[in-house]
Structure 1
Amino acid sequence: MIQKYRKAFNDNFTEEKYSQFLKELGEGFPEIPFRVAETPIFIPDALKKKLIAAGEEIISLIKQANFKELTQKAIPQEWHVPNETAHPHFLTFDYGLCKDENGEVTPMLIEMQGFPSLYGFQTHLAKTYQKEFDLDENLSPYFNGLDETSYIELFKKVIIGAHQPHEVALMDIDAPNQKTAIDFFVTAKHLDIKILALEEISKEGNQLFYEEDGQKIKLKRIYNRLIFDEIGENTEIFRNSFDPREELDVEWITHPNWFYRISKYTMPFLKSEFVPETRFLNTIETTPTDLENYVLKPLFSFAGMGVIIDVTEADITAIKDPENWILQRKVTYEPVVEAPDAGVKAEIRMMYLWPEG
């Protein structure tokens, strides 16, 4: 980590400053129900280059002509949505901070998704860190020469495209009450788009509408934050709105199929120094003798549900659908972020926008 920034931050940190930071962060928005880190991470050039290289390797796989063929089985048949886009509009890669054999800090891929994350909130978070902790103006969370203004313009281009803001809406099951609702409200503030719960959208023929001030407005594009795994078998909720799996006259940003294509399912296809050894369970002919160094993950779950950390042969034998599981070598996080009292382990999320055209 960049020592001069880390030392200055630690020397000047107080609980009062952190409380003021949280107050400023939440001002004018719904309460933030998740914990916010006391500090940003100051990334040195060597680690930055590795993060970029790791991302480029993953993206090169996604750009392969046969990627959709490779990942066709990733999409559960019951959740397949028609009219898939040529590519995802969002990519997020989570890396654990580890050390390589030379003792250098290196990223190791932990999770990946072709689905939007906190793309609005992160701009707000970075700006608030900068202001409340008086960070050096040369520090930036943006890559590829972007700054806050150009990032928001790109964000707007990806989500709104050629449409008018009122023709685009951010959608989730119960959007205003989601845990990450602050991201929704920051996004709406930047882009001037509606935040709609699923039940606020109606269907006529194959077209979707919402109402505002007594007027019916046609939706042309949905900024989708709905995760099908959260619905499970409760598909009755579609009766009062619309079923995303039907043929609809609407554009998806990003298309729901990409949530499955770019996920844990993708990791066995990646061979990289930045990706832990990962195999589909049904392809393993001989069980590793050092299972204590592996983790067993179900493909079709989210938020860490169903993961088996202390794997035994009995766990593997008990699995009836091995094609839906991966066996992944564990990574060892290193406490590389220096706090005033001890080292702290951390992850870094790299977030990409992929505009059309």
Structure 2
Amino acid sequence: MLAQPRHQFNKDFTEAQYQAYLQVIQADFPGALDFRVAESPVFVSTDFLHKMQATCDYIITQVKQPDFLAKTGSAIPKGLRVPGPEGRPHFLIFDFGICEDPNSPGHYIPQLVEMQGFPTLFAYQLKQYQAAAGSYKLPAGFTPFINDLDEQKVKQILADLLKGQENPDNTQPHTVLLELFPEKQKTRIDFLYTEKYFGIPTVCLTEIRKVGNQLFYHRNGKDILIERIYNRLIFDELSNQSAIVKKQAALLMQPLDVSWVTHPNWFYRLSKFTLPLLNDPGIPETRLLSDFNKWPTDLENYVLKPLFSFAGNGVVIDVTSADIEAIAKDQYKNYILQKKVNYAPAIKTPDGPAKAEIRLFYVWPDELDTPIAICNLARLTKGNMVGVSQNKNKTWVGGSFALFGQTSKEKS
């Protein structure tokens, strides 16, 4: 991490600046921000960024292999396989913990924590960057964007990807953002900015209606045809819903005249399920429980994770043999043991050091041969996990972003 901009930011920081920052984020949609925003960006050298990208490039190479679909076919839970052409994963999202280098004390390395073939807070992050730039005096030469992109270029890339190619009649397919009870989701501010920036309305699963192989929703007295779905629906969360919701979800399991961005099956194919198939210095050792003949003797150095969970649900940080024995043997194939990633307290803040992870956003437009990195988010914590429950009544924690600066000889 870069020491000089960190020191200068902390020195210049005022609570009034932070409150102005929050006000700008919330100005368009009061009451929609439902998670804590950290006081500060994370200042990261390009050396560290390139290390993260090297691991991402390795994973992308594996995804592009001809046998990747065959290897990940069993990742999709029974009853949740959505029909239709899967194509490519339009979104590849990689979360890296900032960890101390065991071979070089005082220096940091990235370690992959999670990945997903599923979208993230694209629109909201653009707003957050704007708000920070207008509220703080951020250092020159730093950017949240990657590959020499800027805000306008990223907006155009996302607009083209989310809305699809124009038809012969010079119109784009009608795209909706699909979610379940979007007004109750913590990420709803991103849905609102998605409509503001890209003109894509949010539609609840309960609103859709199937006629033949077509889907419709009702707005302002009209039935509107859905031609393209920007999917934000987590399908395995539907199992806990009412019979009415499950009946609606069953519509999506039938052949439909829609295109997906991205196809729901990629949520499972590119996920924790994939980690045991990979071998890279930036990826902690990961194995399915079903692959063990006996448990490691140092379980305290591992994390137990269910394959099919979201937002950290079901994760056990301090693993014991009792935690594993509580799982039915026929469910071992649905859990992984991952070598523990020890986050370093690398972010100096006025009230004590924070740990952080950085999420790199990759998108894969149809016209490109390989995905491209566009921007990022970061999350700061002073607990054992990155989550609200781990950071209650704490400051300098929550959602943020990394600013990447020139290569530095500082500790990074």
With the shorter chain as reference, the TM-score category is over 0.9
| Whole-angstrom distance in 1 between the partners of 2:304 and 2:130 | 38
Once the two structures are superposed, what CA deviation does each residue of 1:257-281 show, in whole Å capped at 9, x if it has no partner?
0111111101111111111110011
Q: Does residue 1:23 correspond to 2:33, yes or no?
A: no
| Whole-angstrom distance in 2 between the partners of 1:139 and 1:290 | 41
Is the Cα–Cα contact under 8 Å of residues 163 and 173 in structure 2 kept in the other structure? no
Q: Does residue 1:275 correspond to 2:283, yes or no?
A: yes
The aligned residue for residue 104 of structure 2 is 102
Cα distance change of structure 1 residues 287 and 44 upon mapping to structure 2, 3 Å threshold: same
Matched residue of 1:65: which SS? coil
Q: Does residue 1:220 correspond to 2:222, yes or no?
A: no
Once the two structures are superposed, what CA deviation does each residue of 1:192-248 show, in whole Å capped at 9, x if it has no partner?
121111222211111011233323221110101111122114353154586211111
The aligned residue for residue 58 of structure 1 is 59
TM-score scaled to structure 2, two decimals? Answer: 0.83
Once the two structures are superposed, what CA deviation does each residue of 1:295-320 show, in whole Å capped at 9, x if it has no partner?
11111222222222222223333422
Q: Percent identity?
A: 44
Give RMSD over aligned pairs: 1.7
The aligned residue for residue 70 of structure 1 is 71
| Whole-angstrom distance in 1 between the partners of 2:30 and 2:250 | 27
Counterpart AA for 1:325: Y
The aligned residue for residue 324 of structure 1 is 334
| Whole-angstrom distance in 2 between the partners of 1:240 and 1:304 | 26
Unaligned residue ranges in structure 2 (runs of 5+):
368-412
Counterpart AA for 1:226: L
The aligned residue for residue 405 of structure 2 is none
The aligned residue for residue 168 of structure 1 is 175
The aligned residue for residue 343 of structure 2 is 333
Is the Cα–Cα contact under 8 Å of residues 276 and 330 in structure 1 kept in the other structure? yes
Q: Does residue 1:5 correspond to 2:13, yes or no?
A: no
Once the two structures are superposed, what CA deviation does each residue of 1:54-90 show, in whole Å capped at 9, x if it has no partner?
2111111111111111111110021000113221111
The aligned residue for residue 79 of structure 1 is 80
Cα distance change of structure 1 residues 243 and 326 upon mapping to structure 2, 3 Å threshold: same
| Whole-angstrom distance in 1 between the partners of 2:326 and 2:217 | 47
The offset of 1:42, in angstroms, is 1.0
| Whole-angstrom distance in 1 between the partners of 2:163 and 2:309 | 30
How many residue pairs are counted as aligned between the two chains? 357
| Whole-angstrom distance in 1 between the partners of 2:176 and 2:198 | 10
Structure possessing the higher relative contact order (Cα contacts under 8 Å, 6 or more residues apart):
2
The offset of 1:166, in angstroms, is 7.1
Q: 2:190 aligns with which of 166, 171, 183?
A: 183
Deviates more, 1:97-106 or 1:238-247: 238-247
Matched residue of 2:59: which SS? helix
The aligned residue for residue 147 of structure 1 is 150
| Whole-angstrom distance in 1 between the partners of 2:223 and 2:287 | 50
| Whole-angstrom distance in 2 between the partners of 1:241 and 1:78 | 11
Once the two structures are superposed, what CA deviation does each residue of 1:152-180 show, in whole Å capped at 9, x if it has no partner?
00001111111456711111011233211
| Whole-angstrom distance in 2 between the partners of 1:118 and 1:10 | 26
| Whole-angstrom distance in 2 between the partners of 1:18 and 1:213 | 39
| Whole-angstrom distance in 2 between the partners of 1:13 and 1:166 | 46
Is the Cα–Cα contact under 8 Å of residues 173 and 228 in structure 2 kept in the other structure? no
Once the two structures are superposed, what CA deviation does each residue of 1:25-63 show, in whole Å capped at 9, x if it has no partner?
110114211001110111112211111112111111111
The aligned residue for residue 248 of structure 1 is 256
The aligned residue for residue 397 of structure 2 is none
| Whole-angstrom distance in 1 between the partners of 2:48 and 2:134 | 25
Once the two structures are superposed, what CA deviation does each residue of 1:117-156 show, in whole Å capped at 9, x if it has no partner?
1011111111111110021353211111110000000001
The aligned residue for residue 37 of structure 1 is 38
Cα distance change of structure 1 residues 4 and 309 upon mapping to structure 2, 3 Å threshold: closer
TM-score scaled to structure 1, two decimals? Answer: 0.95
| Whole-angstrom distance in 1 between the partners of 2:246 and 2:30 | 27
